[in-house]
Structure 1
Amino acid sequence: MMTDTAYTQPMTARIAQFDRSPAKPAKAPERAQEPGKAWLARLSRSGGGSAMGRARAAGLLDGLAAVAFAAGLAFSVDAVASHRGPVTIAGWLLLVIVACLFRALLTYVGAEAGARAAAQAKASLRVDLARSVFGGPRRSAGQALTALVEGVEALDGLFARFLPTKLAAAVLPLVLIAAAAFASPIAAAIMLATLIPFIIAMIFAGTAAAAEARAQFQALERLSGLFLDRVRALPVVLAFQAEGTTTKALGRSASELAERTIRVLRVAFISSAALEFFAALSVALVAVYCGFNLLRLLPFPVPETLDLKRAFFVLALAPEVYAPMRRLAAAYHDRQAAEAAAARLVAFEAPPAKPAVAPLAKAPTIQFDGVTIRYPDADMPALSKFDLTVPAGAIIALVGASGAGKSSLLNLLLDLAPLTEGAILADGEVRANLAADIAWAGQSPLILPASIADNIALSRRDAPRAEIEAAAQAVGLILDRPGGLDFVLDERGSGLSGGERRRLSLARALLKPAPILLLDEPTANLELASETQLLGAIRAAARGRTTLIATHSEAVAALADKVVRL
């Protein structure tokens, strides 16, 4: 018999392990970030679809609209100064108004298309990550949760703002400078020369932001894993009165994340201020040159003499030259956040797609040939060298003590347990995946915040209402509450008794036209009267199907054509 001391010591050590703050990982070498960057580059090229093309086109067209705006403004000012007719002035002012409205429309279209591209890219990535989490190597729940939620959301700004702006920032400044060169080559040279410190400032700011963003994402990942571990160990924490130390450990991790976030914001604000300074300085230099040239007060000779029209055109274009770069700089931290997330997400490689197989046309004969199930890190296999032949249309009851492997055998057919050795044959053929041909009713059916009819239809979303009602009646799911099958449940299924939950799960299985039926403890924890009522529903659901039932109930086992004891 285990003494109190023998029991307390390992549990106390476990609490001490829980309450230690996670060690900060060593800073990864720069080359460790390269796989993440390469993965992000591939995702950037393939993600977003046509919406990304619309966002980029809107950014490029905005530059052409800026040239039209500057030209309309310059010619309208020149027309006013030259005392030209109102028709001429109105014509150029109309061009200014049309250009402004067109730019507003392009801004809306670009923002909407960028948001749509981000949504499409994130939805596709979440599907791949979910496949990796549930079908790939085992990972900690905290790491998987951070990747699926925070990691994917960190890519939103990359697709919504940075990538649409990147092309415009690379092309439009040179296009606008070329347009300005037609009016004033000297002013265009000033704009081109001042782009160099602007770009250098962007590079330095981006490098600093990248390092801080990686540290922040690591802190977020540690806090997520730490919090999940504490929630899982909550009964142990309460039993040993470790609430105080656990709270302090979470507080330290939360404070570390807050400090990392402040550092990211500090770098972002400082870099934005530096870029705004260089942009303002560049515009000021162009303004000073144009002003002194118009007044003929330049202290050095230049090979051009500006008039009011050309000067206004250059002055109106000067802020527009740096506008795409400023928008890119504002979105640059989005790229750094995405790269920090990509360094983690690259490890979530999607498992290879399983070959498509034709659905079974009728109830098959299922054969388990030397099947062994061993879970990762398990000391012993859950099932070893198991042989069984289930005739087509037969009902087989799997009985045995808890842990004998009954549920593991059902999960193996559902592709939720690993097949370590042996093979599964359906009608004499090895089937890589039988999940699509299986109707399943488990111990704790999934309940969604929707009507009872919608919950039944989870197994077949396109089922007509009449078939849903027929399935409910076949399993004896008779509801006397207001609305009947239209009664709306919450996510916990409040309002359904244990027997009604089992019947709902059986109704789902009955509604799905699958040739194989799996039932996992269909009458567990039910009183005798409810179990007796449910036996008829089980018999109705199993009619015409190859059925396996994992159960401890002798009454349920009595329904079977054969009882297999594990």
Structure 2
Amino acid sequence: MTSSAPSPTHLRHWLRDTARPERRALGMAALMTTADVLPAVGFAAGLALTLTAWPDRTSSILMGIVIMLAALAVRGLLSQRALTTAAGAAARIKGAVRRGVVTDLFSGRRSSETGLIAAVEGVERLDGHYARFEPARMAAVMGPIVVLAAIALASPVSALILTATLIPFAFGMWLAGTAAAAESRTQFAALERLSGLFLDRIRALPAVAAFEATGTVVGDVQRASDGLAARTGKVLRIAFLSSGILEFFSALSVALVAVYCGFQLLGLMPVPIPEPLDLGRAVFALVLAPEVYAPLRRMAAAYHDRQAAEAVVPTLERTPVPPALPTPRLARSPALKFHKVSIAYDGAPPVIPDFDLEVRPGQVIALTGASGTGKSSLLHLFLGLSPLTGGEVEVDGHRLSHTGDWCGQVGWMGQATVVVPGTLAENIALSQPEAPRELIAAMAEQAGLSLDLDRPIDGRGGGLSGGERRRLALARAMLKQAPLLLLDEPTAHLDAAAEEALIPALAAATRGRTCLIATHSRAVMALADRVVAL
């Protein structure tokens, strides 16, 4: 995220560059939206032909009706196809941006408060920009020109009147758009503050209840909600203002053309105008007059979508990271080497400074030390969850700073076991969704998990004891059959009996693999070939 307010040019360049993979689809949508005015010209011509031929009852009446019906059908098909194409392109762009935001969120390059709102609300604000505004922008430039050229063929004066009304309209829309951009940014900032506040208070619910601070928390959320409502109201007022400007000049232009055509046909013009104007030309010009503003009306309706998208760009921008080489495949248990490794978070003093360690293939290393000495941070390096701020880590000679994380080849058992709604077998198979049932059962047995694999489990892991949760996590790590195994406090929060029962399963899991274990337990340390104190 940027620390200072970016320029409008930067915001537009980001939106343009983000849409580059879908440039062709957006271009086709814009072309079809622009071509929407051609059937309108055909409809006006058919109507004029029908009215002029009506008194004589000639065959031109039928031709005019056929032209009008064909124009309506073509216009409907063009509109439907343009909307579908633009919506598909917008969905793909949002998917790519959301994947980037979520990647930054899980890699620690983005805080959870801003990352969550960016991934949900922020990304969704891009939809209107790409699905509606981008196609409408090209149509707003080319559409009026095409319609004015068609009107000029029938009545140059009517085309001149319509052109004159476009100038003050464009100036008014520019003023309204500038104000809308500023208010959209402040409105999204207020939404971020409210979301962050709400998430923070949810996390602190036990403390809120313990200190009886419910009233204070409700007041904080209420004030933040009122601030967001006020900002949203300002955005809506500006949107209504821009709509009012558009409708005023649109109605004014049509009225002026109607007055001119009527007076000219009746010969009541106070100033003689040397323009031959008959009923057919007048009807053609009058029917097409609203179409001059139709592309502009579409763009104005979507203009706030552009401002909303620009407002969230600073939140969606990703932190530049050097490209990582493809992670090599490990054919065996790897050797590990830590050379002067330092890990520091957000400019704070390093939790680990200048750490050195060599691990032979298949060796089990126990990392021990007081809480906060960086044991978990060392393990997180292989998952891309800790920043390598100094030194280097090598996996079989491959530098971690060049290859990025090794998630695909790491068996992981964390301090908190992730449980999802489903059966026990489905929870074990999270690491290998395609694993056969027999292998899942074998890993569960090896981990000492003697439960029915079809047993339903809710999202909170209801019905599983602390030891069973640990065995579930261990079975999941073993099922992956990765050459590198990382265990973070595998016996934490277990009583002595549960820990003793889990030790044989841990011994089986570490056999034949390179393994790093962060632990305080002496029983777990006894499994290691080497104990390293931090």
Q: What TM-score results when the alignment is normalised by the length of structure 2?
A: 0.89
Check if 1:183 corresponds to 2:154.
Answer: yes
Per the TM alignment, residue 462 of structure 1 is displaced from its structure 2 partner at its CA by 4.5
Check if 1:219 corresponds to 2:171.
Answer: no
- % of aligned pairs identical? 52
Q: Helix, strand or coil for the counterpart of 1:518?
A: strand
Counterpart in 2 of 1:511? 479
Counterpart in 1 of 2:75? 103
Q: Helix, strand or coil for the counterpart of 1:363?
A: coil
Work out whether residues 343 and 351 of structure 2, in 8 Å CA contact, stay in contact via their aligned partners in 1: yes
For residues 161-240 of structure 1, the aligned pairs below 5 Å read 161-240=132-211
Counterpart in 1 of 2:523? 555
Per the TM alignment, residue 544 of structure 1 is displaced from its structure 2 partner at its CA by 2.9
Specify the code of the residue in structure 1 equivalent to 2:323. Answer: A
Check if 1:65 corresponds to 2:39.
Answer: yes
Q: For 1:348-380, what per-residue CA distance to the aligned partner results, in whole angstroms no more than 9, with x for missing partners?
A: 43423222232222111212233343434545x
- Which moved further from structure 2: 200-209 or 277-286? 200-209
Per the TM alignment, residue 288 of structure 1 is displaced from its structure 2 partner at its CA by 1.9
Instruction: Measure the CA separation in 2 of the matches of 1:453 and 1:69.
Output: 64
Distance 1:104 1:242, change over 3 A: same
Instruction: Measure the CA separation in 2 of the matches of 1:35 and 1:511.
Output: 51
Work out whether residues 412 and 487 of structure 2, in 8 Å CA contact, stay in contact via their aligned partners in 1: yes
Per the TM alignment, residue 36 of structure 1 is displaced from its structure 2 partner at its CA by 4.4
Check if 1:245 corresponds to 2:200.
Answer: no
Work out whether residues 359 and 436 of structure 1, in 8 Å CA contact, stay in contact via their aligned partners in 2: no
Work out whether residues 226 and 250 of structure 1, in 8 Å CA contact, stay in contact via their aligned partners in 2: yes
Counterpart in 2 of 1:373? 343
Q: Helix, strand or coil for the counterpart of 2:393?
A: strand
Q: For 1:366-420, what per-residue CA distance to the aligned partner results, in whole angstroms no more than 9, with x for missing partners?
A: 12233343434545x4334433332211222333443343222212233322334
Instruction: Measure the CA separation in 2 of the matches of 1:489 and 1:563.
Output: 37
Work out whether residues 398 and 565 of structure 1, in 8 Å CA contact, stay in contact via their aligned partners in 2: yes
2:322 is aligned, of 352, 355, 370, to 352
Which structure 2 residue ranges, 5 or more long, are not aligned?
none
1:362 is aligned, of 327, 332, 348, to 332
Counterpart in 1 of 2:376? 407
Instruction: Measure the CA separation in 2 of the matches of 1:67 and 1:458.
Output: 59
Distance 1:65 1:165, change over 3 A: same
Specify the code of the residue in structure 2 equivalent to 1:371. Answer: V
Per the TM alignment, residue 47 of structure 1 is displaced from its structure 2 partner at its CA by 5.8
Counterpart in 2 of 1:431? 400
Work out whether residues 44 and 159 of structure 1, in 8 Å CA contact, stay in contact via their aligned partners in 2: no
- Which moved further from structure 2: 210-219 or 525-534? 525-534
1:146 is aligned, of 104, 117, 127, to 117
Distance 1:425 1:209, change over 3 A: closer
Distance 1:41 1:528, change over 3 A: closer
How many residue pairs match? The answer is 529
Distance 1:40 1:386, change over 3 A: closer
For residues 456-471 of structure 1, the aligned pairs below 5 Å read 456-464=428-436, 466-471=438-443
Instruction: Measure the CA separation in 2 of the matches of 1:350 and 1:488.
Output: 43
Work out whether residues 340 and 392 of structure 2, in 8 Å CA contact, stay in contact via their aligned partners in 1: yes
Per the TM alignment, residue 332 of structure 1 is displaced from its structure 2 partner at its CA by 0.9
Specify the code of the residue in structure 1 equivalent to 2:118. Answer: A
Distance 1:452 1:352, change over 3 A: farther
Distance 1:392 1:41, change over 3 A: closer
1:76 is aligned, of 50, 68, 75, to 50
Counterpart in 2 of 1:121? 93
Check if 1:500 corresponds to 2:468.
Answer: yes
Q: For 1:80-129, what per-residue CA distance to the aligned partner results, in whole angstroms no more than 9, with x for missing partners?
A: 233114xx433332322222122222222222222222222222122233
Distance 1:43 1:476, change over 3 A: same
Counterpart in 1 of 2:26? 52
Check if 1:398 corresponds to 2:367.
Answer: yes
Distance 1:477 1:103, change over 3 A: farther
Q: For 1:449-508, what per-residue CA distance to the aligned partner results, in whole angstroms no more than 9, with x for missing partners?
A: 44444433332344455544444444344433xxx44x5544323344333332332233
Per the TM alignment, residue 32 of structure 1 is displaced from its structure 2 partner at its CA by 4.7
Distance 1:237 1:136, change over 3 A: closer
Work out whether residues 129 and 349 of structure 1, in 8 Å CA contact, stay in contact via their aligned partners in 2: no
Q: What TM-score results when the alignment is normalised by the length of structure 1?
A: 0.84
Instruction: Measure the CA separation in 2 of the matches of 1:196 and 1:382.
Output: 63
Per the TM alignment, residue 206 of structure 1 is displaced from its structure 2 partner at its CA by 1.0
Instruction: Measure the CA separation in 1 of the matches of 2:273 and 2:106.
Output: 70
Instruction: Measure the CA separation in 2 of the matches of 1:67 and 1:53.
Output: 22
Distance 1:349 1:394, change over 3 A: closer
Alignment RMSD: 2.9
Distance 1:218 1:371, change over 3 A: closer
Distance 1:402 1:210, change over 3 A: closer
